[in-house]
Structure 1
Amino acid sequence: MKLFTQIEKIDKSVSNIAIALGTFDGVHVGHQRIIGKTVAYAKKQQGTSAVLTFSNHPMSIIDPRHNPLQITSMQQKIDLIAEIGVDLLFFVPFTAELLKFQPRQFIQFLMQHIRPSQVVVGPNFSFGYQGKGSPDMLRVFGQEFGFAVDVHEAVFLEDRMVSSTAIRQLILEGNVELARKLLGRPLRLSGPVVSGQQRGRLLGFPTANLSLPERTAIPRDGVYAVRANIGADSYQGVANIGTNPTFSGQCRRLETHIFDFARDIYGEMISVDFLTRIRGEVTFANADQLQAQISSDIVQARRYFDHVDQTG
């Protein structure tokens, strides 16, 4: 996949471009179908598949007070789109200049630079100043400028429409199992392992500590069964999100105890996949009570993994 960080004119030798347009925060099941259909269109026409999306959420420019928390990091978003088989990714900043484009200006800009023959969008797609451009308007422009338009229908799972807004709320509630179904994969948080206060190690449960990224949807405080990914290897574990109130902590962080693992990984990049919520965060009277509860959490998490292994 070729990555562009600004919208450039595509060489005229590149033809039959099918392009998906959208914010695609989370690259959830609905987004995957839109992008997958775009790739299929391009292959059918022996053409080129493309995605135009943004490195920042449009609301960060339109109304920063209501800028939603991101579900995926920029790199994860790029990687997920690449996995679908896209040829060209325009991963560009949403700017004040783009904000001012009227719907017709946006389409003219798109045709001048990319010249798609097929445009694929979701049912809630909007474009142009104040979101005045709708899927119906896009179809009209398609007839005028000579490109086909496919508006993908809404996707429903577990009796709800799959949307970034719904997934974001599920994450904040700690419902990572349902969020996983709507995403089509587990929620993932990544970062370098940072030094902590060694309390987990002193309690007999060493942890890999990650600083929580800003402006990101983080699961509700509590304990979760997780998979920790280090390089090409994946390990079972339990993770706690919270401030560690038993020790009067103030800083919210992610602490992951990796099962059957003893290697020093300070400074290494790891990713943590959230599978199910075990319990909420609790303040214990002393370290012994906390130690006993962690042991119980680990037993519960191992039972969860055993069940998953048995049921597939």
Structure 2
Amino acid sequence: MSAPAITRLWRGVEEVPAGWGPCVVTLGVFDGLHRSHARLVERAVRTGRTRGLPVVLVTFDPHPARVVGRPRDTAALTTVERRAVCVLPFTPDLAQLSPGAFVERVLVGALRAAAVVVGANFTFGRRGAGDPALLRGFGNGYGFTVEAVALLHEVEALCSSTYVRERLRAGDVRAASRALGRPHRVDGIACGRALDVAEGTALPAPGRYVARVDGARRTTVEVTPCGRVLVGAEGPASVEFLDLAGPS
């Protein structure tokens, strides 16, 4: 039996259809959908196919670090529309849920999870008190299985969103692409030569880059010191950063 395809974006558990489930849930911030994230998604899809169940990718918006914890770089590497089926608004109230309350409200009550796939470093609940071992204990009680998947490594660093942001800040878009498994992509609206992107979007360091605009042939774009992307186009556009360009 094949699992049905789900394409609608649910913003909050309130939008999950009544009577939904059972399903396979993969859960995380997924802020870059890099190769480690892809590994989680692939594992969840494989589990869904084996069990004949739909797969739901659940993420949070805004990034939890913008609401709790120490300030750090959380520049967006991709939009929620490109990375999730269910987006949980990360509010102070959600941050205060205990691990047990989070499991009961989201995984059991709303999604009726039959299986959950997370990263080995996944934490959840108030002050990140929950981890895969605790989640597995809840699963034993509620009747869902839990699989924790190890992160990949890129050279000598974890394949992580933090690593991708570091490479982008250094202008090393090729290393960022290796970790992502694809070129870093930025979407926006071009007016004149400048691409208007959402606030908080991760951009490479100022400089000139070889890029594809809207999937067309390679061209050169420029990221300015004030964070503008000069593309020389008009209207909606997406830019894929491929490599540094030589001097003009």
Same-fold status (TM-score > 0.5): yes
2:32 to 19, 22, 26: 26
How far did residue 98 of structure 1 move? 0.6
> 1:68 is paired with a residue of what secondary structure?
coil
Is 1:253 aligned to 2:235, yes or no? no
How far did residue 212 of structure 1 move? 4.5
User: In the comparison of the two structures, how many residue pairs are matched?
Assistant: 240
Structure 1 equivalent of residue 202 of structure 2: 217
C-alpha separation in 2, matches of 1:75 and 1:57 = 14
C-alpha separation in 1, matches of 2:91 and 2:127 = 14
Cα contact 2:190–2:231 (8 A) shared by 1: no
Q: Measured at CA, do residues 212 and 15 of structure 1 come closer, stay the same or move farther in structure 2, by a change above 3 Å?
A: closer
Higher relative contact order (CA 8 A, sep 6+): 2
Structure 2 equivalent of residue 274 of structure 1: 241
> 2:94 is paired with a residue of what secondary structure?
helix
Normalised to the residue count of structure 2, the TM-score between the two structures is: 0.90
Q: Measured at CA, do residues 45 and 225 of structure 1 come closer, stay the same or move farther in structure 2, by a change above 3 Å?
A: same
Q: Match for 2:94: what amino acid?
A: L
Percent identity (aligned): 29
C-alpha separation in 2, matches of 1:272 and 1:174 = 15
How far did residue 240 of structure 1 move? 1.2
Is 1:134 aligned to 2:119, yes or no? no
Q: Which has the higher helix share?
A: 1
C-alpha separation in 2, matches of 1:235 and 1:53 = 33
Cα contact 2:22–2:111 (8 A) shared by 1: no
1:161 to 158, 163, 166: 158
C-alpha separation in 1, matches of 2:241 and 2:63 = 24
> 2:25 is paired with a residue of what secondary structure?
strand
Normalised to the residue count of structure 1, the TM-score between the two structures is: 0.72
Structure 2 equivalent of residue 91 of structure 1: 87
1:185 to 182, 186, 200: 182
C-alpha separation in 2, matches of 1:275 and 1:111 = 42
Q: Measured at CA, do residues 44 and 215 of structure 1 come closer, stay the same or move farther in structure 2, by a change above 3 Å?
A: same
What's the C-alpha RMSD, in Å, of the aligned pairs?
1.9
- Segments of 5+ residues of structure 1 without an aligned counterpart are 79-88, 196-207, 244-250, 258-264, 280-292, 295-312
How far did residue 175 of structure 1 move? 0.7
Cα contact 2:211–2:240 (8 A) shared by 1: yes
> 2:67 is paired with a residue of what secondary structure?
helix
Alignment map for 1:110-125 (pairs within 5 Å): 110-125=107-122
- Segments of 5+ residues of structure 2 without an aligned counterpart are 1-6
